[in-house]
Amino acid sequence: MPRERLISLIDTNWSKASGGSTIDANIQPLEKLKKEIAKSYDSNPLGWSIHVGRDRRNFSQILVSHGSQLWILKEEWINPYKSVGFGARLECGGESLRVPGTEEFGLRPLAPKQMRELADLMSRNEDPRDLLLRVMRSSPIASHDVRSPLVLQGPIIASQNPLSLLSEKHQELDLCLREKLERLLLRKHPQTVIPYL
């Protein structure tokens, strides 16, 4: 099937599926949302949670929560340095992503003493897990407050399908994000979706 015909079929099916839905109006480019998340994190680095996984199409799926706010992101890596995708910010649902017993996501700089301890452990091929867990117990800080050359970022919680943590109504949003990303890939990066002949 010629590429133009395939694009036309996807566009037609997309129009029928979305039906002018308000969900489509909330969808924004990935880069814009990543900047929004970074700015929001820097204004208040406490209370964040990040879950990652893959959907059935193998797109990266990222759920970022802060208080009641929730960002749902879907992306595909074009090469090791560039990804494309879409996402949406919701004003509710974020509080359901907190996993009891885990630390909040954030940036935690290592103090000079901790850096020396880490270097010593690494030179002896010893497990640095206890040291890293101690660092993770400290409060996260904003990126503009980082003064250390070594920063621990996380935790990022990986699961097979992070969207399963949310309600059924988010499945429609997930479908819209996937279809929109597939259309973008077909138009701008066809090598990622059409097999070579």
pLDDT band at residue 95 using 50, 70 and 90 as cut-offs? low
pLDDT value, residue 17 = 40
pLDDT band at residue 44 using 50, 70 and 90 as cut-offs? very high
Residue 51 has pLDDT above 60, yes or no: yes
pLDDT digits (tens, 9 = 90+) for 116-148: 999 999 999 999 999 999 999 999 999 999 999
Return the domain boundaries, the chain.
3-105+155-192, 106-154
Q: How many Å apart are CA 69 and CA 1, to the nearest integer?
A: 42
Percent of the chain scoring above 70 in pLDDT: 81
More confidently predicted of 25 and 139: 139
Residue 26 has pLDDT above 90, yes or no: no
pLDDT value, residue 146 = 95
Task: Give Rg (Cα) of the chain.
Answer: 20
Is 104:44 a contact under the CB 8 Å cutoff?
no
Residue 14 has pLDDT above 50, yes or no: no
The mean predicted confidence, pLDDT, of the chain is: 84
